[in-house]
Structure 1
Amino acid sequence: MQRRGGRRQGGDGDGDGVEAALDELYTTPPSRFVARREELAAAAGAEGRAEDARAVRAARRPSLAAWAANLLLRSEPQESRRFLELGRALREAYRGLDSAGVKELSVQRRRVVSELSRQAAHLAFEAGHRLSGAVQQEVEATLHAVLADQAAADQWAGGRLVSALVPPSEFVTGTVPSAGATPGTALPKAAPPSASPKAAPSSARAQDELAERRRERQRQLTRARTAAETAERRLRACRDRRTDADAELARAHARHDEARQRVTDAERRLRQLREEQRRAADEEQAAGQRSQEAAEALVRAEQEAREAAAELDRLSSRRS
């Protein structure tokens, strides 16, 4: 997705480096924005990129809603690109539609915005921030503005919103109404046929033009309806995939916790066994010492017994 204004060239700055730094910065949670900004600016300064360092330090911290909208754009590039395309289709379709067509598109538009808003809230939660109801309303307002207004779409496409966007009071089509017309004004009805023969061809042409305008409006409505339905299906499919991935992640967490508990139990049992081994080794050493002492005592006792027997034999010989 192209950013308005493109990349800077020339000077002592590294365009790719500062653009990447700013892209990262505007998806950094607001609570860590200032610290990360200083880290990136210091890194650019250490590399001799003074201009880039100034550009990074000039970055303003986004509101929570603006950060969530930036995060949605960066995390879901394909869905975001389709959303921008849907906005272009809707703005085109809203031009000259009758009230029934506008109402139908408005319902579809609200559904798509609601789905993307929930997706942004989920991404924010995964990044450590739970969006309040008020903040989520600001995210929805930003997405409505992106659909309704080309300038707002360009701002969001840059991925560096600082504050939430406010949608216009009426859906902006980007077209200039004809002289004397006002937004929402119904197309003029064809004048009734005149009794004059000269007026008949003009009346017929007006009716043909009116019929052609109605057919064109119907084609625009069909294209916009198809684009909105396609976007809804893709959003639902994406949400289903995310739900499945979250469920698998929860199961993996459970398996990891279970394995970690088994490791903890095994380590505890290993410590117990090593302690038992140490005590057995101490007891073995003590028993060996006692066995050695008993063997030495036995040798001394045997020696004393032999000496006593010899003394007895000597005394017995004298008496005889």
Structure 2
Amino acid sequence: MQREGGHRREGGDHDAEPVESVLDELYTAPPSDFVALREEHAKAARTAGRKEDARRIHAARRPTLAAWAANLLTRSRPEESRRFLDLGQALREAYRTLDADGLKELSAQRRSIVSALSRQAALLAREAGHPLSEAGQREVESTLRAVLADPDAAARWAGGRLEGSLTPPSEFPPDTVRAEPAPRARPARARTPAAGRAKDELAERRRKRQQDVARAAQAAERAERQLRDRRAEHADADSALRHTGDELGRAREEVSSAERRLRRARQRLERAERERRESQEREHSAADALDRAAHEAREAARRVDRLAGRGEQYGGHD
């Protein structure tokens, strides 16, 4: 299926694929990165000679933060989004035949699932580093209500390229909100074949209505369960992150302490090596002095011996 506004060249879809991928990337990227990324891709397309692609890329408009979160929801949760779109189709169909009591019950289910999905969108945005304000989350809710009520809005959201939030109609379109009037009391009369068929058709519509309401309730319950699961996963991840942060802090302190001890040990080693070198130099100097003293002592002894020998010689002549 070709996306809305898709570009098709004579050579087929092959040349159009890059620009579709680029647009998908643009509307997935955070709004703060949108303009720079758009200009980068537009420039690359112009350089490659793809002027029409460059024009389409450059014409893309940066989404609001709420619209980006709604796009993020449909792209990050495709299965839940598909069920939500199916729910919208079922709701629009159900509104053709629901009575006042059914409308009340179905509206409650619709509010529940819209609230659950809008919280999922807010959670995804926060995890991506761009938390929504309360006003932004209300815009996401407005978009989701529009998706349920309006098939055109549903198609735009499914494309994942919203630039702004969607506004739902005040109520479903008039041709789909028509509730069946309560049957008027009529005089008892024999049941005709036409009356029997009408009664059977009414029973069939009521049965289908109940099925639609049940499907809507099941979809809302699934969304609530998934939201609880996501919250639990987020809480576990947050707890693990805090625990890891504490462990990292302790490890860093241990490393710092070890580095300080290592620096002190190196300083002691350098001091000991310096003192050893000085001791070696003093030892060498003392050894040299000892050698010189020993030499001088031997020389002195020889002189004494020579002098003593001469004395004896002189004494022998007397």
TM-score range, shorter chain: 0.7 to 0.9
**Aligned match of 1:305:** 297
Counterpart of 2:113, as a letter, is: V
Give the 3-state SS of the residue equivalent to 1:222 in structure 2: helix
Q: Does 1:121 align with 2:91?
A: no
Contact 2:38 2:57 in 1 (8 A): yes
Counterpart of 2:286, as a letter, is: A
1:258 CA displacement: 4.4
**Aligned match of 2:50:** 49
C-alpha distance in 2 between matches for 1:190 and 1:121: 49
Contact 1:69 1:120 in 2 (8 A): yes
**Residue 192 and residue 141 in structure 1: after superposition, are their counterparts in 2 closer, same or farther (change >3 A)?**
same
**Residue 47 and residue 285 in structure 1: after superposition, are their counterparts in 2 closer, same or farther (change >3 A)?**
farther
1:152 CA displacement: 0.9
**Aligned match of 2:82:** 81
**Residue 254 and residue 55 in structure 1: after superposition, are their counterparts in 2 closer, same or farther (change >3 A)?**
farther
Q: 1:52-95 deviations in whole A, cap 9, x for unaligned?
A: 22221111111111111112222222222222222222222232
Counterpart of 1:226, as a letter, is: Q
C-alpha distance in 1 between matches for 2:255 and 2:55: 50
Contact 2:95 2:179 in 1 (8 A): no
1:305 CA displacement: 1.9
Contact 1:86 1:231 in 2 (8 A): no
**Residue 33 and residue 176 in structure 1: after superposition, are their counterparts in 2 closer, same or farther (change >3 A)?**
same
C-alpha distance in 1 between matches for 2:293 and 2:272: 31
C-alpha distance in 1 between matches for 2:238 and 2:23: 29
**Residue 133 and residue 201 in structure 1: after superposition, are their counterparts in 2 closer, same or farther (change >3 A)?**
same
Tell me whether 87-96 or 61-70 shows the greater mean CA deviation: 87-96
Give the 3-state SS of the residue equivalent to 1:26 in structure 2: helix
Contact 1:190 1:206 in 2 (8 A): no
Contact 2:45 2:54 in 1 (8 A): yes
Contact 1:194 1:200 in 2 (8 A): no
Higher gyration radius (CA): 2
Matches within 5 A, 1:23-38: 23-38=24-39
Contact 2:118 2:137 in 1 (8 A): yes
Contact 2:96 2:175 in 1 (8 A): no
C-alpha distance in 2 between matches for 1:131 and 1:139: 10
**Residue 282 and residue 77 in structure 1: after superposition, are their counterparts in 2 closer, same or farther (change >3 A)?**
farther
Counterpart of 1:221, as a letter, is: V
Contact 1:72 1:80 in 2 (8 A): yes
**Aligned match of 1:180:** none
Of all paired residues, the percent bearing the same amino acid is 57
**Aligned match of 1:230:** 222
Contact 2:112 2:220 in 1 (8 A): no
1:189 CA displacement: 0.9
Give the 3-state SS of the residue equivalent to 2:3 in structure 1: coil
C-alpha distance in 2 between matches for 1:20 and 1:101: 43
1:157 CA displacement: 0.9
Counterpart of 2:183, as a letter, is: K
CA RMSD of aligned residues (A): 3.1
For normalisation by structure 1, the TM-score amounts to 0.82
Q: Does 1:189 align with 2:190?
A: no
1:100 CA displacement: 2.1
Tell me whether 51-60 or 237-246 shows the greater mean CA deviation: 237-246
